[in-house]
Structure 1
């Protein structure tokens, strides 16, 4: 589940990820942040150009403004239209950048479009430093047309080079106005609009010459203008707009004409790249200058100068910093080697960067939970997060009633948590792991990993533990509640689940050990602050999409209301989602949306939460979890729990977590006469909290670490209710000793399927690695047998990522540690390691066995497939392809043969790397895509398309120089 929290868009990510795509700013069309979240920014970390991001006061004003439909605009004559556009904001036209019959009619009228261009030219002549004369709205209406024209043949005339030239007179009028300069807010915004318009159309050498003065002014007075948000945005907009055209929008003859003639435009960029500010507030400017130095260097009169600047930058800027990596990427991508002839090895740089920023590793639960952290995080911080996960997990399972994973063998069998020291260091995640950092944290279900950073109270109203709890809920949702991988499947279509998943994450983040689930003051504070201008209904929330303002908070309130006052509704929703019954889910949402009693109750709950704000707090784990538990007999602990909770059919399990062990005890509780499912749940919830409190009253201090939940509701033959009840807590090592984390230092050897191999681990050789080559898709089982039965374990890695585990032992049979995984063709590595402190040798036997997997067969992409002639396939619709692009591999092409008309859905899910997308072409028209991503939720990019008989080519391509691992699914609707 690729979900991000607390959006904070960085300019570097916008710039570098947009231009490289070679597309007309699809991601920026509505000028919305790239993140899937719109949480309020509580502490701005630096000046970042969040384009068209409205303040709360602006949002309040916009909410009161009249909206104008495109169908209404179509009824106006051209003079009426341009006069209206001059007076209103583009935000009052919700259908901009959306293709429908009305927008097609609007932009098909060439005279209408020309009248807007003419009006823009006239306003360009007449604007002043305080009156923009409607330029911003004119530009956005035009940009909407160019954007739609790129994706829809009906409007493709807008993209014809000759038609794009029609904008030149307007550009020249704007840039020749005496007020076209950095200065007032209005002036800066006009420059920003000009840059955006250029990015969607074209630019001439004369206009570039005028823009050079703006670039020079900004660079010469950098100390002044870099502190001005609007001025910085203006500089960036011009840089990006002209850069986009020069990279993607000129033919060879135009490029020849411009080469050597725009040094005045490039010089300020080169200077900023070479002498940029690396402070947290301004480093994004330096990053962008370095990026465009590489991309535009060929236009300079001395074509070697850019590489020279980038080479110097790698020596000047701090090693492993953003500028250092940006310069290295540009050298590798553009020149292949630096000015001294040295090759750049980005993959090795990433490995070293991870060691630099994430040197610590902490392992819990026999390797099932792994933390990789910066050096400033303490062991205490990490252990608190581990125990926070247990509190959240307990309350989550109580509510959903299930603790069995929905699919086995998924990457989330091992949960990896990556935590950087600071928000600034978190920005390096884009370089090291390939995931954008315009968020406060993000969980990637495809790798079973979430990423975040430590923060101070000055940097965020949300603590690290709050963020961790939120993201951990997403892990639980994906593993136990929502079928399939995040974003895939019908249940995710049409934005069905944002309110459920994000509101649920905010809700369960308030979990406690013995006091249920509390509303967090931080979230209720957001509602209290927003209540004066937002008036969401329950129906609004159940249909909220990513980008809806404050929907995290209001969705939390809706789920909190259901939990406290209407548990049956929440349970029905949980059940339909877990059973993947989309039709039943839609029926429930439709029914609940019309229910007046739900709406009344929801509004009352909102008022109650606001009234209770001052009395609320933020639930965090207690210090009891950190105490060293007294050495005691585990059998006595199990006996006491069984007695207090009156359990039968008790089973126990133990796992090692380095400095301590943990236990899990499962049993059956049979209660009194059933009063109905939901009354029985309330009684069991009360009883379970009572069990925990009674245990805490006993003398052993380890009971203060015990959490509990119950699942699998049923009634007995004699009408009594029953649940499976689970307890989890902390144990000391029997001898009271402490252990150290494994420190693998593997040596390669090979292992063959079905053939046992032996090894020995000892203090001088604490780990051993075995290479496993898999030829076909199979369900594989790894089995390790030891004489001692403990102190040794194993982890499995795929060759594409030697740092993140994908399987580990999840079953113990005597002295055997067993785990399984779904393998695809490729190379895997099994690492055996010791986690104890004993000095003796630890011999073991390792064996991997397998059989043909009964699960869906993946088609493994094979190289070379960079052209239609080399395309993999033809493949049938219904195939799921697994592929990767590394180094200079920029695209993969797959052929699909269609025999009959049918409606299909294509979904791309990047598992590593973010700068990747797809397009579908019909063999009869290789120049125009017939389909491209229409629905973007998190990392998932999907669209529907009605295919006809013939051959289609699916292009999966990357637009950032990074390693990409992905799956792309085609299926019938």
Structure 2
């Protein structure tokens, strides 16, 4: 994740607003757009895009942080993906290799009228999916209003005799319309405006579909199409008109739906219709005139309460959350209040019903805070944090952990991993200490016990979006006492192995924000910087852990982006692959092949000269390295990405081989078991922090520090005693003058290096 403002909850998912209200989404549909349809966040009503599959994002992509479906972030966060879900493509939708190869944009941009309808109906669903990415002239040719009217009329015609499956290509027509609304919202200058003509066409189309008896079939075939048709209600902005569909699906839901992915998704998608309907005055008026949808949600959550804690519990908790959201509409509050209280009374903060309780409590706290005593939600954030994050552990003066459940062994291992990463980080970036006016002298790591616990509680406690793999909140580093923190969770899917998901990636954001990028998150967004922010976090995480980034190496073979293009990556124009895979590739290439250019760019980032850094990247470098980068990608994909070894730390030059200095080291240190290699360094008055690192060599040397005499294993101020030679010590406000350092041979060691930076 990027460096995020706590007061503006800004992340890769670009959640807008300090308060993060979410619903949990069902598994992704085979008819949704690919994850590459990511675009920037903007206020107002945006058609719903699609996300990548939960299973792939969370397991195969080892540093996934967020699905970049940014259009759903206004005014609150989007429905999130069900954790246990996997997307499945139906046989009717899965294209053959020949069909995929035959999918051409021109099939849709060069046709009008019946020829366009034939092209859409004859394409695979997978092919129509690609249209979510159209821009410019292609977007206009495919999705201008006349084209959309043509397809809406075609949907009306097939919907009249809808057979409950895709034999009449209903799915392709629905998805084409969804793509059009989506693209037009983000590129209206190219597509043009939508007006009365389209509204008068989409309404009869949806009317006909929902009037069809077969649209209620409980089956795989219908469910896949129905779930997309429910999303189309929201895409077209017809949320008020189709409230009856919302009520129908909630009322008709039964255990038979659970056997079919699409049917569950259709029910869950009604919550998006409700969630975003609040942005439309006509929707609020419709509910005010007929509040039965509120009582329907209360009845649904009450009837299916037993499902909480199970595979379909998200359907129940989402009903509660969206019922609670009606507290924001003053005329509807009198109806909503007792229903919210009713559901709160049948759920609890912890245990099986926690997800229902949390969603209701969050809504009540945000939208009806004056009546918190009625709901039992006063001081909600502090109460939940105290009850859930009960483990408190201090790694060092600059690092502490607040966890839901971690053993002493796990706490120690986490502290060691982060402490040792300090040395790795500083060795790569060669910084000269924190950037000016950065007061983030300590970090809190908040760790939830699982992804579901993170989704249940992190929004309440920290006001963040949780449709991601973790989030770093930088806050305002120029403010004294500002608390930087990142929020993460244990990866329950790899248990019994203990792993905090994205631990080293997120910690890199903290270090990078403190030592490489001046100011807060917003300060760095004046020019494109994401190639470095996310790419470097990936680079450090994979390189430090010694893990091969297989996804990125595979992606290198596509040659999808030129290096000069990657320098323009922003959160508005990116997707998950470009952000992480290609950010890593660009960063690794630059560090290995053009280190002096990286140093020049970092010098500008550190001074806050982001415009100057961008000019350097786009003008001084420009396209000069594009050909070499292309060739490097070919070699990397073939298994030769080049050496990952970092340039050696400069050796200290004082005549006394024991004396260290600023940002340099002493190498080839050795001692026998129980022996000591002594070192010292002189610090000027006012030095805010001294970082000492040891690394390399063989054996096991422990690192010791003392401020008033030689450091030994029996006389020291602080020490680092891990199982290898990789040790780190950070001393805040060290004493001016001579400071003493040593390596003690827990076992005989040789070839070790000690560096100091301050």
Q: How many Å separate the matches in 1 of 2:382 and 2:316?
A: 24
Question: 2:100 touches 2:126 (CA, 8 Å); kept in 1?
Answer: no
Equivalent in 262, 266, 279 of residue 234 of structure 1: 266
Q: CA deviation at 1:348?
A: 0.9
Q: How many Å separate the matches in 2 of 1:82 and 1:267?
A: 38
Deviations 1:624-644 (A, max 9, x none): xxxxxxxxxxxxxxxxx9999
SS at match of 2:523: coil
Equivalent in 405, 409, 423 of residue 434 of structure 2: 405
SS at match of 1:439: coil
SS at match of 2:166: coil
Question: 1:246 touches 1:255 (CA, 8 Å); kept in 2?
Answer: no
Matches within 5 A, 1:516-915: 519-521=546-548, 523-524=549-550, 526=551, 530=554, 534=558, 536=560, 539=563, 546-549=574-577, 552-553=580-581, 555-557=583-585, 559-560=587-588, 563=591, 567-568=595-596, 570-571=598-599, 574-575=602-603, 577-578=605-606, 580=609, 581-587=613-619, 590-596=622-628, 598-608=629-639, 646-648=657-659, 666=661, 688=667, 690-691=668-669, 694=670, 697=672, 699=674, 726-727=692-693, 731=704, 811=733
Q: CA deviation at 1:116?
A: 1.7
Q: CA deviation at 1:392?
A: 1.8
Matches within 5 A, 1:288-687: 288-295=318-325, 306-320=336-350, 321-332=354-365, 342-344=373-375, 346=377, 348-365=379-396, 367-374=397-404, 376-410=405-439, 412-427=440-455, 428-446=457-475, 448-456=484-492, 458=494, 463-464=499-500, 467-489=502-524, 493=527, 496-510=528-542, 519-521=546-548, 523-524=549-550, 526=551, 530=554, 534=558, 536=560, 539=563, 546-549=574-577, 552-553=580-581, 555-557=583-585, 559-560=587-588, 563=591, 567-568=595-596, 570-571=598-599, 574-575=602-603, 577-578=605-606, 580=609, 581-587=613-619, 590-596=622-628, 598-608=629-639, 646-648=657-659, 666=661
Distance change in 2, residues 1:733/1:810 (3 Å): closer
Question: 1:24 touches 1:147 (CA, 8 Å); kept in 2?
Answer: no
Question: 1:196 touches 1:241 (CA, 8 Å); kept in 2?
Answer: yes
Question: 1:74 touches 1:106 (CA, 8 Å); kept in 2?
Answer: yes
Deviations 1:382-436 (A, max 9, x none): 23222222322212222222131122244x2221211122222212101110112
Match of 1:118 in 2: 153
Deviations 1:179-198 (A, max 9, x none): 21253333112212221221
Q: CA deviation at 1:118?
A: 0.5
Deviations 1:460-499 (A, max 9, x none): 99932x7322211111211112333235346x63xx4333
Distance change in 2, residues 1:589/1:76 (3 Å): farther
Q: How many Å separate the matches in 1 of 2:13 and 2:516?
A: 24
SS at match of 1:319: coil
Q: Which has the higher contact order (CA 8 A, sep 6+)?
A: 2
Q: CA deviation at 1:25?
A: 4.5
Q: CA deviation at 1:571?
A: 4.6
Deviations 1:334-390 (A, max 9, x none): 66677xx9434645121111011112322344x32222122x213332232222223
Question: 2:509 touches 2:537 (CA, 8 Å); kept in 1?
Answer: yes
Equivalent in 48, 55, 65 of residue 29 of structure 1: 48
Larger strand fraction of residues: 1
Match of 1:12 in 2: 23
Number of positions where the alignment pairs a residue of Structure 1 with one of Structure 2 = 627
Match of 1:759 in 2: none
1:131 maps onto 2:166 in alignment: yes
SS at match of 1:488: helix
5+ long unaligned stretches in structure 1: 16-20, 512-516, 617-640, 651-665, 670-683, 709-723, 735-789, 792-807, 815-973
Match of 2:721 in 1: none
Match of 1:676 in 2: none
Q: How many Å separate the matches in 2 of 1:426 and 1:298?
A: 25
5+ long unaligned stretches in structure 2: 5-9, 15-19, 27-40, 65-79, 476-482, 645-651, 682-689, 695-701, 708-716, 719-729, 737-758
SS at match of 2:508: helix
Matches within 5 A, 1:177-188: 177-188=212-223
Deviates more, 1:311-320 or 1:151-160: 151-160
Question: 1:6 touches 1:441 (CA, 8 Å); kept in 2?
Answer: no
1:284 maps onto 2:319 in alignment: no
Q: CA deviation at 1:506?
A: 2.5
Q: CA deviation at 1:204?
A: 8.9
Q: How many Å separate the matches in 2 of 1:54 and 1:435?
A: 32
Deviations 1:899-937 (A, max 9, x none): xxxxxxxxxxxxxxxxxxxxxxxxxxxxxxxxxxxxxxx
Distance change in 2, residues 1:59/1:373 (3 Å): farther
Q: How many Å separate the matches in 2 of 1:155 and 1:46?
A: 30
Q: How many Å separate the matches in 2 of 1:563 and 1:294?
A: 50
TM-score normalized with structure 1 length: 0.54
Question: 2:226 touches 2:262 (CA, 8 Å); kept in 1?
Answer: no
Distance change in 2, residues 1:599/1:331 (3 Å): closer
Deviations 1:941-966 (A, max 9, x none): xxxxxxxxxxxxxxxxxxxxxxxxxx
Q: CA deviation at 1:536?
A: 4.6
Distance change in 2, residues 1:54/1:810 (3 Å): farther
Distance change in 2, residues 1:478/1:330 (3 Å): closer
Equivalent in 174, 179, 199 of residue 164 of structure 1: 199
Q: How many Å separate the matches in 2 of 1:103 and 1:316?
A: 50
SS at match of 2:432: coil
Q: How many Å separate the matches in 1 of 2:11 and 2:212?
A: 42
SS at match of 1:549: helix
Over aligned residues, Cα RMSD in angstroms? 5.2
Q: CA deviation at 1:551?
A: 5.6
Deviations 1:647-698 (A, max 9, x none): 44x5xxxxxxxxxxxxxxx4586xxxxxxxxxxxxxx7xx64x33xx25x45
Q: How many Å separate the matches in 2 of 1:202 and 1:538?
A: 38
Question: 1:11 touches 1:50 (CA, 8 Å); kept in 2?
Answer: no
Question: 1:294 touches 1:330 (CA, 8 Å); kept in 2?
Answer: yes
Distance change in 2, residues 1:559/1:281 (3 Å): same
Match of 1:201 in 2: 236
SS at match of 1:83: helix
Q: CA deviation at 1:727?
A: 3.9
Larger helix fraction of residues: 2
Distance change in 2, residues 1:103/1:424 (3 Å): closer
Deviations 1:123-180 (A, max 9, x none): 21344343163434433443455456667599896366x9635422111211222321
Question: 2:131 touches 2:176 (CA, 8 Å); kept in 1?
Answer: no
Distance change in 2, residues 1:40/1:136 (3 Å): farther
Question: 2:300 touches 2:316 (CA, 8 Å); kept in 1?
Answer: no
Deviations 1:65-88 (A, max 9, x none): 456558x74542322122212233
SS at match of 2:319: helix
Q: How many Å separate the matches in 2 of 1:732 and 1:336?
A: 51
Distance change in 2, residues 1:11/1:148 (3 Å): same
TM-score normalized with structure 2 length: 0.68
SS at match of 1:318: coil
Match of 1:824 in 2: none
Q: CA deviation at 1:318?
A: 2.1
Q: How many Å separate the matches in 1 of 2:401 and 2:11?
A: 19
